[in-house]
Structure 1
Amino acid sequence: MGRDDVMGNTDRLAQLSGAGVSIWLDDLSRERLRSGNLADLIRHKHVVGVTTNPTIFASALSKGEAYDEQIRELAARGADVHTAVRELTTSDVRDAADLFRDVHTATNGTDGRVSIEVDPGLARDTERTVAEAEQLWKTVDRPNILVKIPATEQGLPAITRTLADGISVNVTLIFSVERYRAVIEAFFAGLERAKANGHDLSAIESVASFFVSRVDTEVDKRLEAIGTAEALALRGEAAIANARLAYAAYEEAFTSERWQSLKAAGANPQRPLWASTGVKNPDYSDTRYVDELVVAGTVNTMPEKTLDAVADHANVQGDTVTGTAAEAQRVFDRLAEVGIDVSDVFRTLEDEGVEKFDTSWVELLDTVRGQLDAAKAQG
């Protein structure tokens, strides 16, 4: 690859960053940290944050030898599998947070963030979610992490209580605009309590992770089952329209008097984060969930495959979101007209999302349990 190609690739990511979109990598592994890959992405690909989830850690722990030394140490100590998983994952998150320290400083705490998720098995348990969020925050012990809490009904009060304790939160698994409004309410309530508790609001950051591609996957499947010309014409329309409606809800909430009062007290806005931006349908452009969701003050977290695609051939045309709400609403009106039960779509996606992460968590526990047993046998 020639220098012009490299510069051209970097320029597309620079354009996206210049448009006000923070580029975060949706992946983390010890191999990335040790090989210098993540540091390289920070230097050359405008990556200013990282998100993790149980699936990412399950994949990382099942590959290679990067964790072997720590596994042997944990086995020698007689650590149980839950302790081992938390030590392994929080070690990676701590090291990544240290790697992003300069970004965190340069952006006054906005970026340079690394997310770690509470046990997804707790997604329907408010009390235990709050307790684990606090434990993760203390264990990693870095100011630039975000604790991920799912936006289930039981997760909403946990989000408020965690923020009230001065802990920065990444709200995950948001699918519907209705639930997103409830997340914003939980965020406002959390900051108001944090202020009452004497916390410095300027030190608290939050993002709201609005899932994108999975909406198209589920809606397209239902449209194909309906099979009419009107239904088929709507394939690939739902996810971007949904995200654009979410942004309109964000604009409305973050111009309110309630927000202005929090802002005056030093609060940072809860930025919309576009998650699940890897394209699952090969008929669609592999950069569509980036190109079509460019707007300042947002985050796009992408797997490396999508990051590379954006670097290579994204079509960054500036703001593609502001002022699109009416058009986006028409998409949903048409979906209802052809027989799509949108509420059922979102319920299904939330249930599947919780279940997928829970399954990955069990796989992670099984992998580490096997590694601990093998280390004990060798020891």
Structure 2
Amino acid sequence: MPLTFELQATCPDTGARAGLLHTDHGTVETPRFMPVGTVGSVKALAPRTLRELGTQILLGNTYHLALRPGRETLRALGGLHRFMAWDGPILTDSGGFQVFSLAGRRDVSEDGVTFRSHLTGDKLFFSPETVVDAQRDIGSDVMMVLDELTPATVDRAEARRANARTVRWAGRAFAHARATAPHYGHHQALFPIVQGAVYADVRRESAEALLDLDAEGYAIGGLSVGEAAPVMYDMVEVTNEVLPQSRPRYLMGVGTPQNLIENVARGVDLFDCVMPTRNARTGSLFTTAGLVNIKNARWAESAEAVDAGLDGYHSRTFSKAYLRHLTLAKEPLFMEIASAQNVGLYLWTMREMRAAILEGRFPAWRREWAGRLAEKA
């Protein structure tokens, strides 16, 4: 069945939305954060743990999965769902971020992007069509088009040029997707990506041009790449003024809990970011009491739970002193506990916002929690 989005409630004061995203692998309650499983694994967390934390949808990366284990392996083993033993929905990024982040290893033309593998140095060519084919092999429920992302510092002319190419590539991707069938018997939606750097007029042009594709959902890309947070929020507002109310909106690669709250207030439904697990690996925790540097000596003899405000096993069972000890001793268990805490906090934040939207109290919840989650505990 086609992917469908059921809008349940909208906050009249802010535009925050609560909805249900129906996929062949299950329903996703929005707003929702997607833990990042770049190569088919959310670092240090097993799929069962992710389910226990409340994960409903994961993100994988087409570029990295195409390098290893490779499309042939995924196709032979029945796609990413079976490969990683995850039976819920999966969204895959297209590799467009690597066009941006691997600038020294790629060449961009109208045909597509030629990469030098960061693993072997071998050449790898991505076009709008081959990116769709790769995601067919992966078997994700939501595929993304190949796009050309630019840094926030580009001028308007460069932003407009890159966006025009992104729109052309999206047209090619949709034509190819509609001419091909999924391998594994479930529907795969394709989302185009709004670009335009920090220029409101280019963002509007991008969103308006992509409406012609009549996509099942739309993504907002090219943000959280160097611009100030207020600029990000302005670009999201501009974009969501154009995107249809009846389709889900996915803001790519964002961000802190405060970023999530402010962008939900502007009508975003889906998010992903590596920050929860990346910060966990350095001992930086997101908690309901604020930000915690678990390496700080103040926690050396603390019997406090990692986060008594969360119900999860990892948050309630272990003390801050124990987690600090594991972190300083570089014991692998510290990564599991810290990652479960951070991912759990992000998922908790989304659940709390969703409940507040449905119950008509989102503005008050936002006022209470936006600052609290950013404080240093």
TM-score norm. by structure 2 comes to 0.43
Q: Identify which of structures 1 and 2 has the higher relative contact order when contacts are C-alpha pairs closer than 8 Å and 6+ apart.
A: 1
TM-score norm. by structure 1 comes to 0.43
Structure number with higher helix proportion: 1
